[in-house]
Amino acid sequence: MADMPHRPPTMRDVAALAGVSRSLVSTVFRGVPGASETTRARVLSAAAELGYRPDARARSLRSRTSRQIGITLTAVHPFHVEVTEALHEDADLHGYQLALSWTTKARSLRQAVEMLLDQRCSAIIHIGPTGSESDLARLFDLAPDVPTIVVDRYLELASVDTLRVDDTAGLMLAVGHLVGLGHTDIWYVDGAEYVSATPRRSGYLSAMAAFDLGQATRVLPSGGTRADGAATALALIDDGALPTAIVAYNDQVAFGVLDVFSRHGVRVPQDVSVVGFDNVPEAALPHLDLTTVEQHADRLAFATSEVVRARLDGAPPRGLQLLPPGPLIVRSSTAPRRT
């Protein structure tokens, strides 16, 4: 595989055309003082004429600073996509780049990390990484000196920073809203092994207990996808027993529930109120209009990028950091309990 037939112009070419030394070209392109206005203009116009762009590899190699932050994610979780998009904006603002590395059925987190490491990223952010805590610890140990930040997952690892929205508090918002509407039969559609399923489940249980509804709890096994929610709703309808309100592990699951309910004549919110979690963009669509717990992807991203910069400046990892859940977004999927 032969690469790059005709090589792109280098600093040397620009210097020759502008009639200056290579150092001056470097000075101009780094935007540091030390070049007169006239030379700066000459260099810039020579570069434009040649279509010159500094080689990031050489730059990073020599300057020992890549200004690249690695990101691992699955690319299928809407909330994670939102977070990553917001991270891009923060990166832009602070003059660094994001190197994206996907995990798929065929590409392990380890492969994703190794690619990032080989490129000598300055730090790595893992968004919703799956796998056991010990597997992850082993993975992070591949390069103990590269600051590691984990987003949207609980981890008891002192060597990394972990950022999460407080799920337990979020569930309290959801349950509290339904209780305020007069509901007592509030069931929870569980996220099984999905990211942060455990804290959300226990958030539901403790919220119910706090409202003295501890004996009315019911956790329905499900999953994290629309298909999971649909399957659970179908099972519910087959059983013939419905609560007056449902809290779903996340918006996707809630959508699945809504889909099946509407196809089986169960009216939302007249018959059953439904609450989600995440407030993904789709939740605002007129025909879904889902009451849900906001997670503020942009705030999470902002806090993450602050931590990254602190770590890059040499600060030690601070362990787990919990962000308050956004407000509950009340839409038309919830209503007072039918009397």
Partner DNA sequence: TTGTAGGCGTTATCAT
Partner DNA sequence: ATGATAACGCCTACAA
**Can you give the binding site for DNA, defined by CB under 7 A?**
7, 10-12, 20-24, 26-27, 29-30, 33-36, 38-39, 52, 54-55, 58-59, 61-64
Contact between 181 and a second copy per CB under 8 A: no
Candidate residues 149, 197, 260, 301; the one interacting with a second copy per rule CB under 8 A:
260
Contact between 262 and a second copy per CB under 8 A: yes
Contact between 3 and a second copy per CB under 8 A: yes
Segment interacting with a second copy, rule: CB under 8 A, options 34-42, 143-151, 181-189, 241-249: 143-151
| Reduced 3-state DSSP string for the chain | CCCCCCCCCCHHHHHHHHCCCHHHHHHHHHCCCCCCHHHHHHHHHHHHHHCCCCCHHHHHHHHCCCCEEEEEECCCCHHHHHHHHHHHHHHHHHCCEEEEEECECCECHHHHHHHHHHCCCCEEEEECCCCCHHHHHHHHCCCCCCCEEEECCCCCCCCCEEEEECHHHHHHHHHHHHHHCCCCCEEEECCCCCCCHHHHHHHHHHHHHHCCCHHHCCEECCCCCHHHHHHHHHHHHHHCCCCCEEEECCHHHHHHHHHHHHHCCCCCCCCCEEEEEECCHHHHCCCCCCEEEECCHHHHHHHHHHHHHHHHCCCCCCEEEEECCCCEECCCCCCCCCC
Interface pattern 61-90 for a second copy (x via CB under 8 A): x--xxxx-------xx----x--xx--xx-
Contact between 269 and a second copy per CB under 8 A: no
11 binds, among a second copy, DNA, none (CB under 5 to 8 A by kind): DNA
Contact between 7 and a second copy per CB under 8 A: yes
Interface pattern 204-243 for a second copy (x via CB under 8 A): ----------------------xx--xx--x---------
Segment interacting with a second copy, rule: CB under 8 A, options 35-43, 148-156, 189-197, 286-294: 286-294
* Interface contacts to a second copy, rule CB under 8 A: 1-8, 51, 53-58, 60-61, 64-67, 75-76, 81, 84-85, 88-89, 92, 96-97, 99-102, 104-107, 114-115, 117-120, 122, 142-143, 145-146, 226-227, 230-231, 234, 256, 259-260, 262-263, 282, 285-288, 309, 312-314
